[in-house]
Chain A
Amino acid sequence: MKTSERRVTGFTLTEILVVCAVSATFLATAIMLFTNFRQGYSRSENVAVLMQESALFLARLRTDLNNAVLSGPSADFLRQIQAAPDQLSFNVYSSRHGRIQPVVYNYAALPDGGRLSRREANEGERVLIKDHVASLTWQVQLERFATPGSGTFRIGLAIDLQLKASLGKEKPFAIKTTIFPARLNRQLNSR
């Protein structure tokens, strides 16, 4: 009676195969890219975070050293910046308090990544980098040039910093530089 009107719902085998093939290709590509992306993302993120932390730390230290002043007896002026493996200290002029006060940077080396913190005068200690420091060395570099007259001094702080992410086996982010406090040097040379 109505046999010619019957539709058959369903997929043919060909259709399914084609769809599977296409979607498989698609999904495979997508997954591969995704994995790559995720890896790349986490790597970039780690590097980016480490880079930002080191940049902020160096900028903070640079600003502090730009504000560094000579204070105390003039015989000690060449030892104004004191650097020990775990501590860096010097004096700055704080316009907020209108006086010269000490600034101390503390480095605590820990097996899973060290910690870097800063303290100004009697205020609380603020952590700058937490658990990311693979190694840190800072060294006061005092140069003396034999220029006519009594010679010229130049003080710099050589920093070698390596940061690494908490987990992962990537290479650590390393930065090595020397910071020269210009105003301090100018004062030193005009004594």
Chain B
Amino acid sequence: MPDNFIKPSLRTRGFAIMIALIIGTVLLILAVSLYSFVGHQHSGMQTIVNGEVAHFLAEAGINSSIGAVRASIARSFAGDGGKRLSELLLKPGVFADVCINDMLDPTWNKDLETFAREVDKEASIRVDVWLRDFEFAETDVSVWADPVARQGFLVIEATGGFKNSKRKIAIKRRVSVASILPGVLAKFTAFVSDAARRNEDSFNLIRNDYRGMITDGPRPLMFYNHATPDAPFEAGNMADIIKDEKLADVWQRRGWIWLGGRRVRLNLCSGAGDLGEIFHFYDVSNPNVFSPVKFVTPATELPPAFSAPVRIPWDKSNESIRQVSYSFGHSFVIDGFHDRSSRLETDAMYEGNILSAGEKNHYSSKSSILHLYGDARRGYQSRTRIFGQVYAAFIRFANLEVKPEETDVAAMFTAANPPPLYLLRSIPEKAYNNSVDILEVGRRSVGGPLLKSGMLCKTYSEYAQLMSRVVEYPYIEAYNSMQDVYDARPGRTFPSSAGLFKADSSSQVELQRGSHVFFQGRPSAESVVQLISGRVQFEIDSVGEFWEKYLNQQGELELNSIVRIRNPRGIDMQIPPVGKAQPLVVKGGGAIVLENGNMVLRGIRCSSPDQALTLVLRGSGSVSFASTQPNHVNLIAPEAELAYGSKFEIFGTLCVGSVYADHRFQGGTVRYRTGQDPTTPGYDKFYRVFIDPQDSYWNE
């Protein structure tokens, strides 16, 4: 019996173990399922956690890319390191969506990889940077059609990966490319909306005396419309300038002048340098010696008394009464400046008042009226086109040519020093009679005739033809026609008013370069203000905040964008601001639109030829200058008045509503910056790319 116990059968033995195994397996399965459930819970949580880590990795990708893009753009515009991005953005023409990963700084991706690896070796960040949805921003030819101005989006897509979770964040920011130059006004040296200030004839009114010193009235405002040899940028070469002046259409390459509003008179004057041009009726082969060109009236236009010698008592009649035979001719000089005598400025230079009282009244002259525009010096004669209802008036000094026919008298005559001069003064009709004396200028007795008006002219109308008077060009197109004289063009005669007038073709302007037309139509300063306002990329509340944001550590202006200052309290803007050194150095150019308030300029200097600063003042404030430092600026203030202050110098474009012209106005010069001419490739230097500092859209 014990044997049975000790040796159970194989089947019996295996049976128990099998039961044990089965139970164990069942329980094991239960445990495993519990474990996996918990594990599943755990991994479910882990996925969420991993997702959040991935989210922050993607955030890091976005944040680092924004900085890299801005740095790349700044670098490619500054010229160092890969110009591809700037070339891409400034290329005229249609702009397709493009991925710009390879145009960014190569270390950008490495920064991200380093960061990702630092988080975890299973972490990854992948970023794609795109420029998308670009459209042309300025296409209206009647306002300004710019081939490069465009707006679109910078899109950054960052994918963060951590373990098995991926999160993708995409952000979009606005990008705009715009020119900082003032549209069609970039072709003008000066654009004055109402030059006559509601008063005809009051533009640039100067009074001066014999020595050329200004005695009364405002100081002159002068315009240089080309690159003069002393320009701070793009200085002209003297030989090229002289060569250019011979071209009839040199004005196409110059800055233009617009004098709008009522009819405005530009009166020519003589004088070099500060006082204005020697206009075209002077011989200027030696600009420092003024010798007028004398125009001789042809005999056929003279009254019959001039056709043959006349016997008239001479002026030495108190010595001996004698009748001398004189032959007469007539000539005139056209002059804008006179009164070189030491007399009081109320006396005319020439005896007897060349201008009649009526004329003096009409032209509000004391001794002379000088309307200055231009500089007589070689290389500085800035011939260009004037738009507007501009006419010129100047004084015609009529001279009676007296030639004694008898040799001894002739000898006496020529011996007189200075040479005898018989001016035919201007006399109004009601003061005229046949016995008006025609005297020698110095009232000398030099052997000349004792003349009365009736001896030469039978009627007043004959006398009026010959006498001195103010002559007007009813319409002029050219500013500084100096070169006409320089060329010594033959056959120049006194122009007749009938032939002069050219109908103004409503001042239509067309600007184009190559095949692209920038502008067509009538220039309007208001639409330029709208154009620049449309380009505004950033708005700031006050002038103080503007300086805080855009002045760098050295007190230089780093703008590189187009900014509007809302200025609700109408505070004046001083440039540079009070307390900062003059002049303000512009290291990064741009455009500023100031709403309300006035502007006071105290000196602005662009640090390089690639920089420019455009100031736009909206509202009817004033613009003035508080320093004689030069200002490299384009000043666009079509409703503002150019007020009196110190004598100023602008290198750029000046656009104002009107010029304040009384004796306190110190005058100044405006020099056109030929580098800003849109019809030249230099205009392309003045685009700026702006990336909005805020996200416009984002999505995860």
Binds A, one of B41-49, B106-114, B198-206, B448-456: B41-49
CB distance from B58 to the nearest CB of A (A): 11
Check: B170 CB closer than 8 A to any chain A CB.
Answer: yes
In A26-51, the 8 Å CB interface with B consists of 30, 37, 41, 44-45, 48, 51
Contact among A8, A30, A52, A183 for B695, CB-based, below 8 A: A183
- What separation, in Å, do the CA atoms of A44 and B42 have in the docked complex? 12
When the two chains form their complex, are residues B41 and A66 in contact, meaning their CB atoms are under 8 A apart?
no
When the two chains form their complex, are residues B48 and A56 in contact, meaning their CB atoms are under 8 A apart?
yes
Interface string of B265-282 (1 = CB under 8 A from A): 000000000000000000
CB distance from A191 to the nearest CB of B (A): 9
Residue from B1, B38, B695, B699 whose CB has the most chain A CB atoms within 10 Å: B699
Known: A63-B700, A93-B697. A48 touches B48 (CB 8 A): no
Check: B698 CB closer than 8 A to any chain A CB.
Answer: yes
Residues of B within 8 A of A187 (CB): 694-695
Contact among A8, A30, A67 for B700, CB-based, below 8 A: A67
- What separation, in Å, do the CA atoms of A61 and B37 have in the docked complex? 26
When the two chains form their complex, are residues B700 and A44 in contact, meaning their CB atoms are under 8 A apart?
no
When the two chains form their complex, are residues B41 and A52 in contact, meaning their CB atoms are under 8 A apart?
yes
Check: A94 CB closer than 8 A to any chain B CB.
Answer: yes
Known: A41-B34, A56-B48, A95-B170. A48 touches B698 (CB 8 A): no
When the two chains form their complex, are residues A190 and B45 in contact, meaning their CB atoms are under 8 A apart?
no
Residue from A51, A63, A93, A187 whose CB has the most chain B CB atoms within 10 Å: A93
Check: A110 CB closer than 8 A to any chain B CB.
Answer: no
When the two chains form their complex, are residues A51 and B45 in contact, meaning their CB atoms are under 8 A apart?
yes
CB distance from B55 to the nearest CB of A (A): 8
When the two chains form their complex, are residues A52 and B34 in contact, meaning their CB atoms are under 8 A apart?
no
- What separation, in Å, do the CA atoms of A28 and B52 have in the docked complex? 47
Check: A69 CB closer than 8 A to any chain B CB.
Answer: yes
CB distance from A72 to the nearest CB of B (A): 15
Check: A78 CB closer than 8 A to any chain B CB.
Answer: no
CB distance from B698 to the nearest CB of A (A): 5
- What separation, in Å, do the CA atoms of A186 and B66 have in the docked complex? 15
Check: A55 CB closer than 8 A to any chain B CB.
Answer: yes
Interface string of B669-700 (1 = CB under 8 A from A): 00000000000000000000000011101111
When the two chains form their complex, are residues A37 and B34 in contact, meaning their CB atoms are under 8 A apart?
yes
When the two chains form their complex, are residues A55 and B45 in contact, meaning their CB atoms are under 8 A apart?
yes
Residues of B within 8 A of A67 (CB): 698-700
Residues of A within 8 A of B27 (CB): 30
Closest residue of chain A to B695 (Cβ to Cβ) is: A183
When the two chains form their complex, are residues A48 and B695 in contact, meaning their CB atoms are under 8 A apart?
no
Closest residue of chain A to B169 (Cβ to Cβ) is: A66
Residues of B within 8 A of A37 (CB): 30, 34
Residues of A within 8 A of B34 (CB): 37, 41
Chain A interface residue bracket vs B: 20 to 34
Closest residue of chain B to A9 (Cβ to Cβ) is: B4
Check: A59 CB closer than 8 A to any chain B CB.
Answer: yes
Closest residue of chain A to B49 (Cβ to Cβ) is: A55
- What separation, in Å, do the CA atoms of A55 and B41 have in the docked complex? 11
When the two chains form their complex, are residues A44 and B38 in contact, meaning their CB atoms are under 8 A apart?
yes
Closest residue of chain B to A47 (Cβ to Cβ) is: B41
Check: B152 CB closer than 8 A to any chain A CB.
Answer: no
When the two chains form their complex, are residues B697 and A69 in contact, meaning their CB atoms are under 8 A apart?
yes
Check: A2 CB closer than 8 A to any chain B CB.
Answer: no
When the two chains form their complex, are residues A94 and B4 in contact, meaning their CB atoms are under 8 A apart?
no
When the two chains form their complex, are residues A183 and B698 in contact, meaning their CB atoms are under 8 A apart?
yes
Check: A7 CB closer than 8 A to any chain B CB.
Answer: yes
Closest residue of chain B to A92 (Cβ to Cβ) is: B699
When the two chains form their complex, are residues B694 and A190 in contact, meaning their CB atoms are under 8 A apart?
yes
When the two chains form their complex, are residues B45 and A66 in contact, meaning their CB atoms are under 8 A apart?
no
Check: B588 CB closer than 8 A to any chain A CB.
Answer: no
CB distance from B589 to the nearest CB of A (A): 24
CB distance from A119 to the nearest CB of B (A): 19
When the two chains form their complex, are residues A7 and B699 in contact, meaning their CB atoms are under 8 A apart?
no
Closest residue of chain B to A55 (Cβ to Cβ) is: B48
- What separation, in Å, do the CA atoms of A112 and B699 have in the docked complex? 37
Residues of A within 8 A of B695 (CB): 183, 186-187
Check: B51 CB closer than 8 A to any chain A CB.
Answer: yes
CB distance from A113 to the nearest CB of B (A): 21
CB distance from B33 to the nearest CB of A (A): 10
- What separation, in Å, do the CA atoms of A41 and B38 have in the docked complex? 9
Closest residue of chain A to B545 (Cβ to Cβ) is: A149
When the two chains form their complex, are residues B38 and A48 in contact, meaning their CB atoms are under 8 A apart?
yes
Closest residue of chain A to B44 (Cβ to Cβ) is: A52
- What separation, in Å, do the CA atoms of A44 and B33 have in the docked complex? 13
Closest residue of chain B to A99 (Cβ to Cβ) is: B697
Closest residue of chain B to A183 (Cβ to Cβ) is: B698
When the two chains form their complex, are residues A48 and B697 in contact, meaning their CB atoms are under 8 A apart?
no
- What separation, in Å, do the CA atoms of A30 and B1 have in the docked complex? 36
- What separation, in Å, do the CA atoms of A66 and B30 have in the docked complex? 42
- What separation, in Å, do the CA atoms of A66 and B58 have in the docked complex? 13
Residues of B within 8 A of A41 (CB): 34
21 A-B contact pairs sorted by A residue (CB < 8 Å): A7-B1, A7-B4, A37-B30, A37-B34, A41-B34, A48-B38, A48-B41, A52-B41, A55-B44, A55-B48, A59-B48, A63-B700, A66-B55, A66-B700, A67-B699, A69-B697, A183-B698, A186-B694, A186-B695, A187-B694, A187-B695
Given contacts A55-B48, A95-B697, 17 further A-B contacts (CB under 8 A): A8-B1, A37-B34, A44-B38, A48-B41, A52-B44, A59-B48, A59-B51, A62-B52, A66-B55, A66-B700, A67-B698, A67-B699, A69-B697, A93-B698, A94-B699, A95-B170, A183-B695
